[in-house]
Amino acid sequence: MMSKSVVAVFPLARLLPNRGVAALLPGDVQVAVFRTGDDEVYALSNIDPFSRAAVMSRGIVGDRGGVPVAVSPMHKNAFDLRTGVCVDDPEVSLEVYPVRVDAGMVMVGAP
C-alpha cells in the first residue's frame, strides 16, 4: 500500500539489476532504492544505522538463505530488503518505504 504522498524518483531503466540508487524525498529524506536480479524493487532508508553514513544505496544486493538483502558497504551488515531488519542483528532495522513501478517510473511513498 502506498502512502498518501508518492514521489516519482527516477526511471526504472536507471536502476540496474542487483544495484541500488539513492533518492531524495520531500523533507530531505534519503532513501536507497534497490532492484534485485528477479526485478523486484525495494526502498529502505539510505542511512546505515551502525555508522550513520548515507551509504546503503552503495551496498551489495544479494540473498541470505532465500532472503533478499542489501549489505552495507561500511560494516558489512545485511538488511532484509522486505522488512528492513538487520539479518546480523535483528534488534536493528532500517525504515522501509512503499515502492512500485508505474509506467516505467519508480514511485516511492514519502513519509
pLDDT tens digits, 10-48? 999 999 999 999 999 999 999 999 999 999 999 999 999
Domains in the chain (CATH in brackets) are: 6-109 (2.102.10.10)
pLDDT tens digits, 58-111? 999 999 999 999 999 999 999 999 999 999 999 999 999 999 999 999 999 988
Per DSSP, the residues of 49-111 read TTT--B-GGGSEEEEETTEEEEE-TTT--EEETTT-BBSS-TT-B--EE-EEEETTEEEEE--
Gap between the Cα atoms of 27 and 4, Å rounded: 15
* Sheet of 105-109, strand order: 6-11, 105-109, 99-102
Cα-Cα-Cα-Cα torsion 44, 50, 56, 60, nearest 10 degrees, comes to -110
Gap between the Cα atoms of 69 and 100, Å rounded: 18
